[in-house]
Amino acid sequence: MAENPSRGRSETSGPQEHDRPADALPDVEADGSAEPVWRRIAAERWGGGRTASAVGVVILVLSAALTLFQLYVALRAGFDAQQQRLIHLMFVMVLVFLAKPALPGRAGRSVPALALDLVLIAATVAVSFYPMVLQAELASRAGAYTDTDWIMGLTTIVLLLEATRRSVGMVMVVMVSGFVFYAWIGPLIPGRFGHSGATIQRIATHSYLGDGIYGLTLGVVVTFVFVFILFGALLSKTGGGNFFVGLAYVLTGRMVGGPAKGAVLGSALMGSVSGSAIANVVSTGPFTIPLMRRVGYRRHDAAGVEAAASTGGQILPPIMGAGAFIMAERTGIPYVDIVKVAIIPALMYFGVMFLFVDILARKHAVGLAKDSELPTMRAVMGAGWHFLAPLVLLIVLLLNYVPPTQAGLYACGALLLVAMLRAGSRLSPRDFLEVFVLAARNTMPVSVACAVAGVIVGMVGLTGLGLVLADVLVTAFAGNLLLTLIMVALTSLIMGMGLPVTAAYVVLAVLAVPALQELGLAVIVAHMIVYWYSQDSNVTPPVAFAAFAAAGIANARPMRAGLSAWKFAKGLYLIPMLMAYTALMAVGGPVTDLVAAVVGGCVALAASAIALEGHFLRRTVLGERLAFALAAALVLVAPEWSGLLRWALSASVDPGWFTLAGSLLGAGLIALQVVGHRLSRGRGRAAEPADPAPGAGRRDEAAAGK
């Protein structure tokens, strides 16, 4: 049986990339340590010694218990929804208090820190079992809760905020505290944002026993997301990540800018199953970024490409980020229908990224990768063709409206089966245990963020803030959709400075979606726009988490890497405009409208990239850049041009004419560059000597703009 060449190095530090044989797969799963993952997590928190060993065993036991509990729930559904969420969050918060320090450095490893963690763990267990043990009594006195009830609720909020501070960050704690404070001082706020206010008792019980911490947002993680996080952990441990990145490089590595295109495709495939852009960067980046650097990409550009591609993985079906499952639950739209409308915009996002890296390669005369640095199709398929079967099965099941949880379980089972049939991907008992720990580790920030976002959702519902804000947005901008979209994007950027993408989506959904629906957008379109905007915290300075992680790998300046990532991920801002103004998401509508939206949108995105970069097949002059920008603007917001003309000249012009004009202008400018480039190449060949000097390598061809 053929073996995955990288699996043998998954527990030890492998050779440098330039020493890797041509027939080996990229090793994106290598962690450089022979220690089991639970021991490494404990050592990062507690250092070496007996304490770390003991805590590592506890982390392993809790991770296994969490995974087995989730599998039991998915297979048997033996608990009601509230009990599922209580037990899930209890496991997660205990793991956070064990694995994440209260203070940095030695202070976090001291005896007082251990004592504090033990107190927090005991309190977490108490507040988790309280609603389960007294479920019937709490239901009978709903609305007339006792002092013990609200004290337990307040304790839960404090514990959750501390878990959030450790696993997500302080900014989110401040933001949640701000919403709670707003709910408390409502009567003191003047104007439209004032409200009757809520007491601390009401806030605590509503968050604890009502639609708050244990509400729908956390329920989606318990019901759907964990299964796909488990699938990603299995894929990582069996070597499937190596296969998909290797396949990406086989398909794109020998093109102009091939290493960057391979990074785009590989990170997209990995990101769609990892559920985290940052995790994707730190797993694939150590392979993709050095290869981009060796062929000539600048440090900050290599980091930006990796960060933007990893972020795009969260919008790529069949497995999108956790927010997509939350969207399905909040809207009542089947997940498969969300996938169907999401696939075309996602492909357009990666299409414009491919164009960006191609332009960058030509602009800076980036060379081609050596064959010795790239795997062969035979080696890749021989080592990992069996990993395609679970992915195909998952797609087929989702398209046949099998519930996502069941589809994910079947995919996990299929992945285990095909992995055990091949020696190179077969899991040992220790590997199985590591899968449990990896799944639990990757779940921690997602579950905590969704639980604490539930507090914000609860406060918005308690105060009516969502309806007020929607009314203010619609009134302030006189019903102008473009200005409202810009305001939502700016709000997303501000929230992205402290909230992970899933939490940012949840908050934006309750605040901005009603305003977008008031302006005539369908519910799926409004939610998808907000979902796309919420991804920007990974790539938009001054806080660009994925870009900063990539900058560390590339040894680049973080802000420059962030600016590059922001440029490459421009589709996160432009494509939502196409969603709002065109039939891009009308998959069930007339085919001609969809085709026109896709073709016009592709031209607009290409024109935007060329205008922004100032280069295509050759450098563009100022007039060309302005013409490209105009072509993009005509297509992206065609109805706004129609409205402007109606206001200025009282003339009614169908928006389709502006779309057509922008598409023709952009396509014509691109065609002129292509024709000019071909003529230039023809003249260059005619001027060459009959017997050219040997040794004109592939790098020279790339520099000439091949």
Segment-wise mean pLDDT, segments of 10 residues, the chain, 706 residues: 39 39 54 74 82 88 93 78 91 93 82 90 95 87 85 94 88 86 89 85 90 85 84 82 76 72 76 66 76 80 87 82 83 88 90 86 73 74 82 83 84 88 82 90 86 86 79 75 88 73 83 87 92 84 76 81 86 90 82 89 92 85 90 89 79 83 91 82 62 43 42
Alpha helices in 421-557 (DSSP H): 429-463, 465-476, 481-496, 501-518, 523-533, 545-554
DSSP bridge partners of 619: 615
Give the separation between CA 249 and CA 380, rounded to whole angstroms: 10
Tokens of 615: 């280069």
The β-bridge partners of 178 are: none
Instruction: Please state, in angstroms and rounded to a whole number, the distance separating the CA atoms of residues 295 and 255.
Output: 12
Nearest to 459 by CA among 187, 220, 186: 186
Indicate the DSSP class of residue 615: B
d(CA 456, CA 454): 5
SS3 619: strand
Is there a contact between 227 and 74 (Cβ–Cβ < 8 Å)? yes
Decide if 492 contacts 543 (C-beta within 8 A): no
What would the two tokens of residue 672 be? 């002129």
- Are 404 and 203 spatial neighbours (Cβ–Cβ below 8 Å)? no
- Three-state SS for 127? helix
Q: Residue 244: name the closest of 562, 474, 6 by CA.
A: 6
Confidence (pLDDT) at 112: 87
Q: Give residue 525's pLDDT.
A: 92
Token pair in block for residue 165: 């501070």
pLDDT computed for residue 700 by the predictor: 44
Which residue from 656, 481, 653 is spatially nearest to 580, judged by alpha carbons? Answer: 481
Can you name the residues that pair with 615 across neighbouring β-strands?
Answer: 619
Tokens of 557: 């300046």
3-state SS class at 106: helix
| Tokens matching residue 295 | 């062929």
- Let me know if 102 is exposed, middle or buried by CB neighbors in 10 A (0-12, 13-18, 19+): middle
The answer to whether 520 and 344 are in contact (CB under 8 A) is: no
* Spatial separation of the C-alpha atoms in residues 370 and 45, rounded to whole Å: 41
Instruction: Tell me if 441 sits within 8 A of 41, measured CB to CB.
Output: yes
- Cα separation of 204 and 151, whole Å? 7
Is 83 exposed, middle or buried, given 0-12, 13-18 or 19+ CB atoms closer than 10 A? Answer: middle
Phi, psi angle pair for 347, to nearest 5°: -65, -35
Q: Is the peptide bond before 259 cis (omega within 30 degrees of 0)?
A: no
Counting Cβ atoms within 10 Å, is residue 519 exposed (0-12), middle (13-18) or buried (19+)? Answer: middle
Q: Residue 2: CA atoms inside 13 Å, Cβ hemisphere, count?
A: 14
Q: Phi/psi zone of residue 14: left (φ > 0), alpha (ψ -120 to 50 degrees), beta?
A: beta
d(CA 561, CA 217): 32
Q: By CB neighbour count within 10 A (0-12 exposed, 13-18 middle, 19+ buried), where does 634 fall?
A: buried
Quickly list H helices, 4-80. 37-46, 50-76
SS3 content of the chain, % helix, strand, coil (to 5): 75, 0, 25
- Give the pLDDT of residue 20: 46
Q: Is the dihedral of CA 340, 345, 349, 355 positive or negative?
A: positive
- Nearest 5°: CA angle at 362, between 361 and 368? 55
Calculate the dihedral angle through the C-alpha atoms of 600, 605, 611, 614, rounding to the nearest 10 degrees: -130
**111: which residues sit within 8 A by CB, 6+ positions away?**
none
In angstroms, rounded to a whole number, what is the distance separating the alpha carbons of residues 585 and 297? 35
- Bridge partners of residue 275, in order along the sequence: none
Please tell me the distance from the alpha carbon of residue 539 to that of residue 86, in angstroms, as a whole number: 34
pLDDT of 122: 95
One-letter amino acid of 401: Y
572-611: burial string, b at 16+ Cβ within 10 Å, e else: bbbbbbbbbbbbbbeeeeeeeebebbbebbbbbbbbbbbb
Three-state DSSP class for 242? Answer: helix
pTM of structure = 0.78
